[in-house]
Amino acid sequence: MDEPVLLTGAGGRVGQAILRGIGDDYDWRLLDREPLPAAKVPDGVTDADRYVADITDERAVREAMRDVGAVIHLAGDPRKTAPWDSVLRNNIDGTQVVMRAAAEAGVERFAFASSNHAVGGYETDDRTPDLYRPDDGYRLDGTELPRPGNLYGVSKAAGEALGRLYHDEHGMSVVCVRIGNLTKDHPPREYERGQAMWLSHRDCAHLFDRCLRADYGYEIVYGISDNDRRYYSLERAREALGYDPADNSADYTFEGEPKEGAATGGGEGDSDRTAADEPPAEPNFPSDPDTPTDGA
Ligand SMILES: NC(=O)C1=CN([C@@H]2O[C@H](COP(=O)(O)OP(=O)(O)OC[C@H]3O[C@@H](n4cnc5c(N)ncnc54)[C@H](O)[C@@H]3O)[C@@H](O)[C@H]2O)C=CC1
Ligand SMILES: O=C1O[C@H](COP(=O)(O)O)[C@@H](O)[C@H](O)[C@H]1O
């Protein structure tokens, strides 16, 4: 990709996992409503390529989109308990602004950070907790209808539908990545659901790298590592994107320690920039009381 890649929400957990893994491989344009400290910015990204802006600001987004070849759109409210006014503004309105600007600017590839919560409603009482265990064969593969379990999930389903619209109307390649649970160094500790949908940092960076390089039309894929425990299929991510995950939560104990002899190492990317997997020191949204703080 010769043109710049616009990364929205660059200062957050997912954005930093991507930049730590593939920060040296692209000509980045970084957008976040919070200023990014130098430690969060790859070498070579100039001030001119850093935008402090809200994604609902159409003018700023259009300006950041100039000459961009691809977009990774992460900015939004990530809380599963987020109230409607926040997801409406940050996740639905904001995503529409970013996608429309991308389509109108002729951007070729657009990767949208969707979520496991777009389909959380499939985790019914009769399926759980068996669903989270390695011997259970139930799989969601991205062809199922959205089935959100909360308003945050509704906002992600809306983003997926917006992606469909801008693909169909403008021919923009759109991939919606239903991200599982990103944690650094080890899977979520003592959390079956989290271990079933673990996404390691290096798999996260590799997956979004594939989103920037592969040829696709409109796709919904699951963004998880190659976990033995899983109820999301990796087939579409493998086939459509060439995703080839390296990590597996089964290589760690339930408490999150690497098992002896297992080839673990999914925590870090290539760069030695300061780790920043935790939510920002001064969170942009009030913390989510239901979200385990461990390792997130
Ligand atoms: N971390 C995870 O395990 C998962 C994350 N996701 C999605 O991935 C995306 C990124 O999530 P995280 O990095 O975990 O969240 P985060 O809260 O760590 O990062 C989000 C970033 O977006 C920025 N931002 C938020 N609203 C904005 C707005 N209106 N305009 C401009 N910037 C804004 C924030 O300042 C922050 O730097 C979100 O869309 C989230 O829903 C989906 C599933 C799992
Ligand atoms: O979409 C998201 O999902 C992950 C995993 O969900 P959880 O309900 O198992 O915590 C969550 O950690 C992340 O904050 C959220 O954006």
Residue 147 near residue 110, CB atoms below 8 Å: no
Residue 222 falls in the annotated catalytic set: no
Residues in the ligand 1 pocket, defined by CB under 6 Å: 9, 11-15, 32-34, 54-56, 74-76, 78, 90, 94, 113, 115, 179, 181-182, 279, 284
ipTM of the complex: 0.99
Residue nearest to atom 5 of ligand 2 (CA): 181
Most distant CA pair in the chain, distance? 53
- The DSSP symbol for 252 reads B
What predicted TM-score, i.e. pTM, was given to this entire model? Answer: 0.93
Tens of pLDDT, residue by residue, the chain (296 residues) = 899 999 999 999 999 999 999 999 999 999 999 999 999 999 999 999 999 999 999 999 999 999 999 999 999 999 999 999 999 999 999 999 999 999 999 999 999 999 999 999 999 999 999 999 999 999 999 999 999 999 999 999 999 999 999 999 999 999 999 999 999 999 999 999 999 999 999 999 999 999 999 999 999 999 999 999 999 999 999 999 999 999 999 999 999 999 988 878 654 433 333 333 334 433 467 765 444 434 44
Per-residue pLDDT tens for 212-267?
999 999 999 999 999 999 999 999 999 999 999 999 999 999 999 999 888 786 54
DSSP E strands in the chain: the ranges are 5-8, 28-32, 50-52, 70-73, 109-115, 173-179, 181-182, 198-199, 218-223
Q: CA 268, CA 182: separation in Å to the nearest integer? A: 12
Tokens standing for 282? Answer: 């001064």
Active site residue: 132, 152, 191, 231, which one?
152
For residue 115, what are the CA distances in angstroms to 81, 154, 186? 13, 10, 20
pLDDT at 158: 99
Distance CA 90, CA 208 (A): 21
